[in-house]
Amino acid sequence: MHATTVPTLPWYKQFWPWFLIAIPALSVVGGIAMIILASSSFDGLVSDDYYKEGQAINTLLDRDRRAATLGISAQVLLAEDGRTLRLVFVHPVEGALTLKLLHPTRAGLDQTVVLKRESNRLYTATLPHALNQPRWRIELADGAGQWRLTGVWKLDSLEPLVLAPQAS
């Protein structure tokens, strides 16, 4: 009887050594890809000076409380063209006013306008771009930085926006 020998393939022609080499090799390639992505993109959400920004929050809260103390509140109306704003105040307001329209997710859509005084209770403004997004954060402040009103404006609702001091 002849003993039959099965020819043995060299290691580099077999499946399992390549499979075992592929696992750490793919891990190295994936790690390099993650390092490249992390170093080439800017998150923008993490602040370098978070302590100062935390301190600034107290200043903003003081401005909100000042608006409550002064009894300032306003109603914001948007014309059909999507660009013309009218602000009607409950009590007369003095000085220059600034209105910021802040998009919740896209800072490139944010708009800031200086309001034009029509009377002691009516201010108007024309926006540079029409408001074509359904939701905006609004900040109304005086030019001296003494008070501010904030709110969320949902343009798809039929109600006008009422800016009133937030309860704290």
Q: How does pLDDT run across 114-132, given as a tens digit for each residue? A: 999 999 899 999 999 888 8
Q: How does pLDDT run across 9-68, given as a tens digit for each residue? A: 899 999 999 999 999 999 999 999 999 998 887 766 666 677 777 777 777 788 888 888
CA 46 to chain centre: 13
pTM: 0.64
- What amino acid occupies position 76? V
Q: How does pLDDT run across 77-98, given as a tens digit for each residue? A: 888 888 899 999 988 888 899 9
What are the sequence ranges of the domains in the chain?
A: 11-39, 72-163
Comparing CA positions, the residue from 106, 104, 109, 93 lying closest to residue 148 is: 93
pLDDT (0 to 100) of residue 3: 67
Q: Which two tokens stand for residue 11?
A: 């290691």
pLDDT (0 to 100) of residue 33: 96
Report the chain's mean pLDDT, rounded to a whole number: 87
CATH class given for the domain over 72-163: mainly beta
